[in-house]
Amino acid sequence: MLANALEDCPRPPPVPEPQQAELLGSLACEIEPETVEWIWQRRISRGKLTMLEGDPATNKSTLAVDMAARISVGRGCPDGSSCETGYVIIFAAEDGAGDTLVPRLMAAEANLFNVRIVPAVHQNDDSSLTILTLPDHIKAVEATISSSNAVLAIIDPLNSFLSSKIDSHRDQDVRRVLAALGAMAERTNCAF
């Protein structure tokens, strides 16, 4: 009897099989080759990410500040090659602006009017604190870079800016943040 009752019940329409996503792309012959714009020949390019990696206390931040100073005044690169003059943004998490970064920039003879220092922690109007994190605040970072037409953006150190949702020990998590930064660098034509 139950079998007969089930046969008389209307059946829902069959669930369609999931559609396979089509991966879009271009034929290589349709892509126009582009020339890389170098800020420092074969080392730092516009619209790309460059990593300074090394053990602690090996002067990575000092090198970054030196490069910021050179770009801020258009002084040549360390190897003597020419250097574009432009605006630099330093996203700083560990070094204090007044006691460390500005004195280093002054020692490197930077044009302080061409360097903006953005701290990792910001005080809001209501005295609460906001911590700048990536990728959560990528639009704010992009807006800051775009509004100043920055040539170089320095994030020092990257780990201090990673969202709590990002596990810095998981390659996939870090790659997602780097992909977002890389896309932003390309859109803004700013070297990171």
Q: What is the pLDDT of residues 24-58, one digit of tens each?
A: 888 889 999 999 999 999 999 999 999 998 888 89
β pairing state of 44-45 and 129-131: unpaired
Answer yes or no: is 169 within a domain. yes
pTM higher than the cut 0.75: yes
Per-residue pLDDT, 163: 83
Per-residue pLDDT, 11: 66
- Partners of 162 in the β-ladder: 134
Answer yes or no: is 145 within a domain. yes
Answer yes or no: is 59 within a domain. yes
CA distance to 25, 27, 57, 175, per residue, from 22 (Å): 10, 15, 48, 23
CATH of the domain at 64: 3.40.50.300
Answer yes or no: is 29 within a domain. no
Answer yes or no: is 27 within a domain. no
Per-residue pLDDT, 122: 76
Q: Where in the sequence is the domain holding 140, given as residue range(s)?
A: 38-188
Answer yes or no: is 61 within a domain. yes
| CA separation for the pair 116, 87 (Å, rounded) | 8
Answer yes or no: is 72 within a domain. yes
Structure-block tokens of residue 35: 């020339």
Question: For the chain, how many structural domains are there in total?
Answer: 1
Answer yes or no: is 13 within a domain. no
Give the residues of the chain that fall short of pLDDT 50: none
Per-residue pLDDT, 125: 78
Per-residue pLDDT, 4: 58
Per-residue pLDDT, 110: 97
Tokens 């582009």, residue located:
34
Per-residue pLDDT, 12: 66
